[in-house]
Amino acid sequence: MADVTIIGGGLAGSEAAWQLVNRGLTVRLFEMRPQKSTPAHKTDKLAELVCSNSLRAKDITSAVGLLKEEMRRLRSLIMEAALASEVPAGKALAVDRERFASYVTEKLLSHPAVEIVREEVQKIPEEGIVIVATGPLTSEALAEDLKRYTGEDYFHFYDAIAPIVYADSIDWDEVFVADRYQREGEEGAYVNCPLTKEEYERFVEELLAAEKVPFKDFEKPKYFEGCLPIEVMAERGKDTLRFGPMKPVGLIDPRTGKEPYAVVQLRPENREKTLYNLVGFQTKLTYPEQKRIFRLIPGLRKAEFARFGSVHRNSFVCAPKVLEKTLQLKKEPRIFLAGQISGVEGYVESTAMGLLAGINAGRLARRRELLVPPRTTAHGALVHYITEADPRNFQPMNINWGLFPPLEQKGRRKRRLPKRERYRLMAERALRDLEDWIREKGVLADWITEEP
């Protein structure tokens, strides 16, 4: 019998497994694909991403950039895979999804302490330490069984996927390559489709009138604010998109020397740049309507779609009621939750929870003190949010600077620091406190392989 059972082979489950086996424990990892797939997955590989830019900003003056740096220092497999499969994306960490998933899959398949079982788990094992990392598309059977231990019903919202077009179907004479606020001499990563006022207004008009995929009887549209479908944003006002995913700020069309009225940005989806993602264009439009309306965009009039956008359900528990800060269930401490089901939002955040669940499941197996990272760190800020938020209106959250404690300033007069300086100081504090925590608690003392 394995020391720890993990249910779910996404980013969180894969990361948890890596943390455990590199501390000398054995893992039995269940992944239902390819026996049973989901609306968001296309392969049977572990840690499959649906978007090349899912790991988001790199710089540690962004909260998610800091979270990734903390994960790297905690010897994250997902960060190791990301760096090995990175593709150009300006200030974002984007990856070649195929290489990324293959890297993680091979690492775990080849590890002697990992047993991968390809079957759906409908009931949590009655004995032993278990990490549930089944993600936003947790099967109904397992979700029902989890309620036995949580005593709480699930909440849900809908996450959305943006379309992808083939590079050779883009009209390159109508677009320009540049990053926002790009300096002279720098090479841009984003392809920009500029729209005039008339083109923009027609696009919005057609978008609002377009046919959408209807919700099923049991579904209620409750979207995550950070990932709204493009048509939902358009319903909020005619200029909403110009201040959102179609904002032209910081982008100069070299043909006019001016900012366009609106811009649609395309991001490379793979290293070879044969595929491009429509940034921020997650949607619930029908496939024929997506093809018709998105081809109104200059540069995409003959676009061929490698993947259309879609919307899928995201399930999660009310973490403030059911989870300890160690990510154990309050009613059943041998069970840990990791990933989006724990109440965080985003691939990076989900991976971070898998990392912490792996550390603590290993410590529980060896009867050691379980650990909670300092709240000043990105990991600690996330844990604090999901376990201390108001349970009456709890919603998943991406990592952001608003979750961190404010900086301490000495003296009577406190000055308002510029935003970038404030974030830099908070990041420095976080990494300093993380290193102290690692050293004082011996977080990596039992790591048995060489550091990546």
- Condensed to tens digits (0 to 9), the pLDDT of residues 111-167 reads 999 999 999 999 999 999 999 999 877 888 888 899 888 876 655 656 567 898 988
Q: What are phi and psi of 397, to 5 degrees?
A: -140, 135
**Of 176, 164, 154, 420, whose CA–CA distance to 274 is shortest?**
164
- Calculate mean pLDDT across residues 88-110: 93
Domain(s) of CATH 2.40.30.260: residues in the chain: 162-313
CA separation for the pair 321, 152 (Å, rounded): 8
Q: What is the pLDDT of residue 91?
A: 87
Q: Map residue 359 onto helix, strand or coil.
A: helix
Contact 267, 277 (CB under 8 A): yes
The tens digit of pLDDT for each residue in 231-275 reads 999 999 999 999 999 999 999 999 999 999 999 999 988 777 888
Confidence label for 345 from pLDDT (cuts 50, 70 and 90): confident
CATH of domain 4-154+317-441: 3.50.50.60
**DSSP alpha helix (H) spans, 250-398:** 287-294, 319-322, 347-365, 378-388
Does 451 score more than 80 pLDDT? no
Given a contact cutoff of 8 angstroms between Cβ atoms, the answer to whether 177 and 273 are in contact is no
Is residue 204 classed as helix, strand or coil in its secondary structure? helix
Q: Which helix (H) or strand (E) holds 11?
A: helix 11-21
What is the share, in percent, of the chain residues with pLDDT greater than 90? 64
Q: Report which secondary-structure segment, H or E, holds 278.
A: strand 275-278
Model confidence, pTM: 0.76
Q: What is the mean pLDDT of residues 192-221?
A: 85
Beta bridge partners of 108: none
Q: Residue 421 pLDDT > 70, yes or no?
A: yes
What does DSSP say about strands 191-195 and 335-337: parallel, antiparallel, or unpaired?
unpaired
Q: What is the predicted pLDDT for the residue at 83?
A: 95
Question: Which of 194-208, 262-276, 398-412 has maximum average pLDDT?
Answer: 194-208
Q: Residue 252, SS3?
A: coil
Tokens 């996927």 belong to: 161
Q: What is the mean pLDDT of residues 165-187?
A: 88
> ∠ at Cα 120 (119, 125), nearest 5°?
105
Residues with Cβ within 8 Å of 170's Cβ and at least 6 positions away in sequence, in order, are 191, 266, 276, 299, 300, 303
- Tell me what the mean pLDDT of segment 73-82 comes to: 97
Confidence at residue 39, expressed as pLDDT on a 0 to 100 scale: 54
Quick: pLDDT tens for 297-325: 999 999 999 888 877 677 889 899 999 99
Q: What CATH architecture does domain 162-313 belong to?
A: Beta Barrel (2.40)
- CA 79 distance to own-chain centroid: 13
Choose between 95 and 414: higher pLDDT: 95
Output Rg (C-alpha) for the chain, integer angstroms.
Answer: 22
pLDDT of residue 442: 96
User: What is the arithmetic mean of pLDDT over 25-43?
Assistant: 75
Provide long-range contacts, Cβ within 8 A and 24+ apart, for 105-111: 105/45, 105/46, 105/47, 107/18, 107/77, 107/81, 108/14, 108/17, 108/18, 108/29, 108/46, 108/77, 111/21
Q: Which of 197-206, 277-286, 287-296 has the lowest mean pLDDT?
A: 277-286
Domain with CATH 3.50.50.60 in the chain: 4-154+317-441
Residues 6+ apart with CB under 8 A from 154: 143, 147, 315, 316, 317
Mean pLDDT of the chain: 89
CB 13 within 8 A of CB 31: yes
Smallest CA-to-CA distance from 104 within 26, 179, 17 is with 17
More confident position, 80 or 306: 80
Task: Report how far residue 31's alpha carbon sits from residue 116's, in angstroms, rounded to the nearest whole number.
Answer: 7
Rounded to the nearest angstrom, the gap between the alpha carbon of residue 141 and the centroid of all alpha carbons in its chain is 25
- What's residue 413's pLDDT? 57
